[in-house]
Amino acid sequence: MKNVPLYIAGEFVESQTDQWIDVTDPATNEVIARAPCTTDAEMRRAIDNAGEVFKAWRETPVSERARVMMRYQALLKEHHDEIAEILSSETGKTFEDAKGDVWRGIEVVEHAANIPSLMMGETVENVAREVDTYSYTQPLGVCAGITPFNFPAMIPLWMFPMAIACGNTFILKPSEQDPLTPMKLAELFEQAGAPRGVLQVVHGGKEQVDILLTDPAIKAVSFVGSVPVGRYIYETGTRNMKRVQSFAGAKNHMVVLPDANKDQVVKALVGASVGAAGQRCMAISVAVFVGEAQEWIPEVRDALAAAKPGAWNDKSASYGPIISQKAKERVESLITRGEEEGANLLLDGRNCTVDGLPDGNWVGPTLFSGVKTDMDIYKEEIFGPVLSCMEVDTLADAIALVNDSPYGNGTSIFTSSGGAARRYQHEIEVGQVGINVPIPVPLPFFSFTGWKGSFYGDQHAYGKQAVKFYTETKTITARWFSSDAVAETNFSIRMR
């Protein structure tokens, strides 16, 4: 049995804990490793070391920090498929999906390599007579990241490269369900020449998270996960005077107008709803059909029925298993509740089987129509391959429906009308909008901008907002008492 190590003070060490968490392959439910619940002493050592290393790292020239990121992105590319295989083995993601997870993380590291230009301050000369004002962007100190199971490469790479490039040190607490991928990321970061202690990796659950949220040495915390945990992270962290960005749940709507390209709509809905087994915070879980577009629902059902789950290395598989048996049971219970509440179950993914893998956490593609806003399948984030269809008469009705949702992570509209698209992007109260793009996740030079109950905080992930989150601005107003006469006198004295 492989014990997942800690990464503390630049060393991969085995924890001295007596509490371990099983890491399972969700396609077989076999235990493939054990993750430690980091002891209090080990947490203390990681935090203290990160604080000590920060003193030197913050003085490291920004160009040197950028070169670490350049070497790191080169190593990540070199080991891209290896990381994806590790990721697939512990999440069940198909290999192609896993490679996308890794690649989106690499893109953020490439963005972090531009840190010299991203950290530039501002200057105004002569704000008053012979008085100049300018600003510096300076790091915070020790920062922490708490990451979820569904993107074990991309989301850690959202966090620590940007924070460290800004001059901070970082403590990562990855999901206990798939810690092997983040450990590989740490291994390659060390190989890239990052100084010992700039990055620390600890493991565990709520007890370890609470230490990060309450220890005064931690200056900022970044989190991605569920709504209740996200709210807890934000409230606890801010109550302890920390800067917090907390990305929580979602219920993403795709609005379909009757003038859209039907084939594009059907393909987009299949990939965006069941891809990664629906375990994406940007997954489309609600399709809103406007007017005559409601007639397309049977074709969506037929296309979804052709999507089949399977093993990560099965090239014919559309997606993999649900992460755990508990998560599978929750998804299936919500399907049952949707049926009981009166929604039309057009495609039932319960009791799904995959040949040769009888013990996997399989849920087949599931489709409801006639879904109402008071149903649990609409109100709750299912986080499975379940698509709910809703029917409205007009675009205005669709906008009102989406805006009434407590979540605001992502949304999209499919239409051939520029006027309708512009109205939608202008009026919709959601942070990320796609026009004929089902999952509008921005590239790293923009920021990931969830709204409402999908995000707690002020500054978002990666992009320019991440630099603001991980830094403070210092403004200097300077006046030097010198004139031509004084300068000439001083020069004459020095020449004697």
The secondary structure of residue 288, as a DSSP letter, is: E
Provide the mean pLDDT of the chain.
Answer: 96
Contact 402, 428 (CB under 8 A): yes
pLDDT surpasses 80 at 495: no
Mean pLDDT of 434-449: 95
d(CA 423, CA 425): 6
Q: Which residues are catalytic?
A: 281
pLDDT surpasses 90 at 493: no
What pLDDT sits at residue 496?
57
428-453: burial string, b at 16+ Cβ within 10 Å, e else: bebbbbbeebbbbbbebeebbbbbbb
What pLDDT sits at residue 316?
96
SS (H, E, C) 380-420: CCCCCCEEEEEEECCHHHHHHHHHCCCEECEEEEECCCHHH
Which residue in 101, 48, 79 sits closest to 192, CA to CA?
79
In 32-79, where does DSSP find H-type helix?
Answer: 40-57, 62-78
pLDDT band at 222; cut points 50, 70, 90: very high
Contact 170, 145 (CB under 8 A): yes
Task: Write down all domains in the chain, each with its CATH number in brackets.
Answer: 2-248+462-476 (3.40.605.10), 256-435 (3.40.309.10)
Cβ contacts of residue 174 below 8 Å, gap of 6+? 147, 152, 156, 181, 182, 201, 203
Q: What percentage of the chain carries pLDDT values higher than 70?
A: 97
By CB neighbour count within 10 A (0-12 exposed, 13-18 middle, 19+ buried), where does 336 fall?
middle
By CB neighbour count within 10 A (0-12 exposed, 13-18 middle, 19+ buried), where does 85 fall?
middle
Contact 328, 317 (CB under 8 A): no
What pLDDT sits at residue 1?
75
pLDDT surpasses 80 at 472: yes
pLDDT band at 486; cut points 50, 70, 90: low
Encode pLDDT of 256-310 as tens digits. 999 999 999 999 999 999 999 999 999 999 999 999 999 999 999 999 999 999 9
Encode pLDDT of 154-178 as tens digits. 999 999 999 999 999 999 999 999 9
Please give the model's pTM, rounded to 2 decimal places.
0.95
d(CA 38, CA 21): 11
**Residue 30 three-state SS:** strand
pLDDT surpasses 60 at 100: yes
φ, ψ at 327 (rounded to 5°): -65, -40
Tokens of 238: 């801010």
Which residues make beta-bridge pairs with 136?
474
What pLDDT sits at residue 482?
72
Query: DSSP labels for 194-209?
Result: PPTTSEEE---SHHHH
What pLDDT sits at residue 490?
59
pLDDT surpasses 80 at 484: no
d(CA 429, CA 28): 41
Encode pLDDT of 361-420 as tens digits. 999 999 999 999 999 999 999 999 999 999 999 999 999 999 999 999 999 999 999 999
Tell how far CA 46 is from the center of its chain: 24
Encode pLDDT of 12-62 as tens digits. 999 999 999 999 999 999 999 999 999 999 999 999 999 999 999 999 999
Check the CA dihedral 165-170-175-176 and report its sign. positive
